[in-house]
Amino acid sequence: MSELLPPTEAIHAGNPQLDRLPTTELIDVLLRDQFDAIEAVRSQSAAIAHAVDEIAARLARGGRLHYVGAGTSGRIATLDAAEMPPTFGTPPELVHAHLAGGDAALVRAIEGAEDDSKAGAAQMRDVEPGDAVVALSASGGARFVIAAAEEAKARGAYTVAVTSVESSRLARVADHAIVAATAAEALTGSTRLKAGTAQKIVLNAISTAVMVRLGKVYGNLMVDVVATNDKLRHRALRLIADLAEVERERARELLDAAEGRVKVAIVMERKRCSAAAARGLLDRHGGSLRAVLE
């Protein structure tokens, strides 16, 4: 009796002879296959939106967002979590990634890490009932990830599965599942390809939309950006100049007085108030610049 494989491990019938293709055709095959990832994620837009609303509600009440993954999934999760503080001014602990094998697995494969159920469950020891946990596994079978989702759910956290296999154990374990059914890879079993692309798109959408719901965005502008380098400082100054309708030099003065916080600087100018008063206004309006200004 043949082994029943998940769709992510199936042989791609349309690309059986990669090694015989001229390089230009090989690249075309690999790139065309990526479009399936986009369509697979688009089919899950309602499921993603549901997860966003649930996660945002928990974070608004003081909860945290945890990502859990192994291998490619864990690295994608770690990347997304790392981008939150500079992009949205969040504290590092608000969005935290748990990678099978730990930090060392970011740069090299840790054999057996994804099969370590005990380690997955242990990673959830600090998860609280008000938190949300997004667990990622292309096949939905990584035991580290499944155990983490089970433990998080047992602790009362809201759990979301991000997988490419609807019938997977991970999809069944979680409170809610986002299933981007990317099916067979151009390179058989290499889910770092379109399954990985789908996961990256899903996390981009979740984290960005959650931050929008939390008032971290005004229009389509990153008004909670942290000016940690020259590029971001220039962006912060442009935001203040545009939204406070001031010259560049005045924007620089405001940013300095606001200790680098763009929203505070804008409120100072628009409401003609001190930095302390601007911070107070933002705090009373849940950090929403729009609520303060309008």
* Active site amino acids: 83, 114
The C-alpha atoms of residue 7 and residue 275 are separated, in whole angstroms, by 56
Strands (DSSP E) contained in 118-275 are 132-136, 158-163, 176-179
**Adjacency order of strands within the sheet including 95-99:** 95-99, 65-69, 132-136, 158-163, 176-179
CA 167, 171, 173 angle in degrees (round to 5)? Answer: 120
DSSP state, 218? B
Q: Residue 210 corresponds to which amino acid?
A: V
Q: Residue 259 corresponds to which amino acid?
A: E
Phi and psi angles of residue 177, each rounded to the nearest 5 degrees, phi first: -125, 135
Question: Strand pairing partners for 176?
Answer: 160
Whether residue 174 contacts residue 160, with contact meaning beta carbons closer than 8 Å, is answered with yes
